[in-house]
Structure 1
Amino acid sequence: MHWLKAEHANWLAAFREAAALGEHAEVGAVGAAMSPVSDHWVTAGHWVELFDAAARAAAALGDTAARTAHLNDLSWAHWVCESDLPAAAEAAGAALELARATGAEVQQARAHLRFSVLRDADGDAASAAEHCRKALDLFIAADEINGYLPACNVSIHLLRRAGRVDDAMATHREVMDVLGDPRNAARIPETTRVLTALIATYHVSLVPLNLGRWAEAVDVLLPIRGALETHGHHRPAAKVHLHLGHALTHLGRRAEAEAEYRAVLAFAGRVADELVAEARAALAADSPAPPTVFE
């Protein structure tokens, strides 16, 4: 990852030249190589361009399997990097259609998982849950643990929002058990292991927060404080600081809370303005009244 970031300008220029020259195999190879990297470098700024070019290259080569995978990556990039829901849904829909036509279980699962996230963002909880369930079932059928775990993380979020707190916490325990099982050591890349645990813990932290169990919320959030930003996941990273600040304020630990609110201010320009404004208002208040409902 260090080399990719250090040599970013050079290899991206070479990639663009290959795409312009119609060197489809080379473009596709870069797309495939970047797929497992992208989620750990969300802020790179080129993922939509890269995966779109890779999908087009695969189409030119008539490589349906590769095109399907690149379209799923493109859907991820449109949503996670650009917050472009229509474009993300279009790419996921194309991927799902191709995956169904070819019987590609893993790519079907990936497309369903993308749709689960997108439907949730669009406020359609029932459709989000249905797509997530399909993704989980397909990942299980394909014995694809590195797809199953992210689907579990989405499930934690959906279960918690549906009020199924016990099920959400049980799914979190399952994720952590799978990550900690020695039999899975060689199956899960270390970078995936770390990010999966961080995201699972972030999602489950909303359980004690919404139950008003402030000390428990602090205990859950403190170990992941400052970790998500290293992967470029700025929004959840900022919310960890913000939620930690609110929980500490509820506990009367004002000085510690102020440090967390100030940490949120450092995300200005990288996260939604309302998150920074909420932290700034908490710092300015003589007697802050932190929220009791969290999302």
Structure 2
Amino acid sequence: MKTELTDSADRTLITDMDFKKTSVKIGYGILIIIMILLACMVLYPIVWLTLGSFKSLKELYTFPPTFIPKEWKWGNYANAWTSFKFALYIKNTLVILMGNLLFSIIPAALSGYALAKLNPRGKKIIFYLILASVMIPGQVYMIPLYLNLKDLPIFHLNLFDSYWGLWLPHIGNAFYVYLFYSFFLSVPTELLEAARIDGAKEVGIFVKVVVPICKPVFVVTAIFTVTSTWNEFFWPMLLLTDMNKFPIMTAIYAMLRISNASGGANEYNSMFAGLVIGLLPALALFAIFQKQIMRGYTMSGIKG
């Protein structure tokens, strides 16, 4: 056991021999300080939001602002839960999430498998087009996508104010296709050939052989989809007009906007509490599946 630990320690980026150098110690210390500062910059808004959710409305408007609440108002969370109809909006978010999982993972998995193992004609061209689409900023095709959802080509359907307008754009997610493609390359071709000799069809091979082997990539893409859907704001706000269909993040903003328009009191403390409630599932998901999420970023860098 001692030998294994020693070997593992020797395989780090900076060895014990390097740490004996003063310049390495200084550089390492500076790097740690920079990482701590960056972590504080990322966490500060979340901490400030959480502490603000426990403040009274008067204290929240106090200048100079206080960091730690003088009096902890736990009732802000009960007020946020009842006034923001969280049960309804969480249900809407889950409905949108189920559709996004279905329309993003299944087509991407089938496309990645076809490119990696079935070798279709024009494979390289298709693969390069997928990579090129990953490099295109989302803002570029925002207006064309909006017009297509307003008048769906061929079918001439208006997908506004329906969840279909949120689900369909997830079909053929280029990043997911590349992720599945990179992972499926590691599946032994001999295993697939053995299944074909036994008389298995391609669909059966994919479902019974490939999917069980490649569970990690399915888990990773599912986690990415859940986190992005839970925090999605722009497209629901743009496409949906019925507030009873809003997901949780869009609903919180919409209620604040209605309060501003009607001249009502802006209870930012309750809104902060609502935002904290909305963030908790995503944070909990990351805390539980952080290894799989990090593995997903690692897999996205694999070269095919």
Q: TM-score, normalised by structure 1?
A: 0.25
User: Bigger relative contact order, structure 1 or 2, given CA contacts below 8 A and separation 6+?
Assistant: 2
Richer in helix (by share): 1
Larger radius of gyration: 2
